[in-house]
Structure 1
Amino acid sequence: MLKSLTLIAALVAGPAFATGLDITVSGEANGVVHIDLFDDVAPGHVEQITKLASEGAYDNVVFHRVIDGFMAQTGDVQYGKMGAADFSMQMAGRGGSTYPDLKAEFSDQSFDTGVVGMARSQNPNSANAQFFIMFAPAPHLDGQYTVVGKVTSGMDVVNQIKRGTGPNGAVIGEPDVMTSVTVTE
């Protein structure tokens, strides 16, 4: 009985994770950010993110939208990859990947500091490759966007990411970049 209660308590304590991401950031912020991915909360989104990371799709992708006190957005592998033929800071944030958009996997997870969510258009089922990391809690996002993980180390690096000064947090000038994104077990 005690063993069963301990197991139940562990399950209730929070989402489980089996995989993660190590993101090396360069620019105004320099260092490694580790994210634990919540396989049990958003399995379809985690599968797509880890597939893209394993393929190197996220390497050299910029943080294109960064709003102080809110979040840092990245992951546009179509227009936000520095050095690629289609790279454009003006278009970054409008693209996705070659994979299909994902059906929303909303949960009761809260958008607290360090939580990672999937960016999308007004269509809840339009998340694809872009994601954002929270600088501060944003409860108005709860149940509206898919939570995929949480920063477990390197939040100091996240907090140093260059803030956007353009419309809607658009980064002007030289953006910070995810120089490499690797999947961890």
Structure 2
Amino acid sequence: MSTTPEPITGRPQVEISTSKGPITLELRPDLAPKTVANFLGLWSRGECDNLTFHRVEDWVVQGCDPKGDGTGGNSTLPTETSDASFTTGSLGVARRATPKDVSNDSQFFIVKKDSTFLDGEYTYFGRVVSSMEIINSLAVGDKIQSTTILTK
């Protein structure tokens, strides 16, 4: 019996319940299969539950850092760049400045306005499909209360 997981097909949807309200994301395994599999596993195990959005700027929100300060998680996930553009509502993975070929395995970000300077440099793995107004209302310290996989 094989232990290799089945490839993810379609575009899974995930609801992130925050202290400000729910956000629905649509994931893109066709663009970043390892990243989508990693975050679906993380979210299904509740590993982001009760963690905060530790970074909130005029153009981005970032969360799911186990340490809560931008230094947590491991840089073990391969960076999967694509032709996707980081337009408003895009979902990406945090990484250190170097090495560029690995990304953080827990911290994700959502851009609040077009941020095309990230194109080809960071892993794009989905987008917000509802509640961009919730994203725009988040402040540092707001919590990720829970995550629910809506469709796989």
* Residue pair 2:23, 2:130 contacting (<8 A) in 1 also: yes
Partner SS for 2:134: helix
Partner SS for 1:159: helix
- Corresponding position: 1:24 with 2:14: no
Distance 1:17 1:154 in 2: 22
- Corresponding position: 1:73 with 2:62: yes
Which one-letter code corresponds to 2:26 in the other structure? D
Distance 2:54 2:116 in 1: 23
Aligned to 1:87: none
Partner SS for 2:117: helix
Distance 1:67 1:17 in 2: 32
Aligned to 1:161: 138
Q: 1:36-78 CA distances to partner (integer Å, 9 max, x unpaired)?
A: 000110000000001010101011110001111x1000011x2
Q: Which has a greater percent of strand?
A: 2
Aligned to 2:118: 141
* TM-score (norm. length: structure 2): 0.88
- Corresponding position: 1:107 with 2:100: no
Aligned to 2:105: 128
Give matches, 1:83-98, under 5 Å: 92-96=69-73
* TM-score (norm. length: structure 1): 0.73
Which structure ranks higher in relative contact order (CA pairs < 8 Å, sequence separation ≥ 6)? 2
* Residue pair 2:79, 2:122 contacting (<8 A) in 1 also: yes
Aligned to 2:5: none
CA drift of 1:184 comes to 1.7
Distance 2:14 2:94 in 1: 17
* Residue pair 1:45, 1:148 contacting (<8 A) in 2 also: yes
* Residue pair 1:24, 1:33 contacting (<8 A) in 2 also: yes
Partner SS for 2:127: strand
- Structure number with greater Rg is 1
Partner SS for 1:44: helix
Aligned to 1:8: none
Segments of 5+ residues of structure 1 without an aligned counterpart are: 1-15, 81-91, 163-170
Q: What fraction of aligned residue pairs are identical, expressed as a percent?
A: 38
Aligned to 1:86: none
Q: Which has a greater percent of helix?
A: 1
Aligned to 2:54: 64
Provide the aligned length of Structure 1 versus Structure 2: 141
Which one-letter code corresponds to 1:138 in the other structure? S
Query: Which 4+ stretches in 1 moved above 4 angstroms?
Result: none
Partner SS for 1:64: strand
Distance 1:113 1:17 in 2: 22
* Residue pair 1:17, 1:36 contacting (<8 A) in 2 also: no
Aligned to 1:151: 128
Which one of 16, 31, 44 corresponds to residue 54 of structure 1?
A: 44
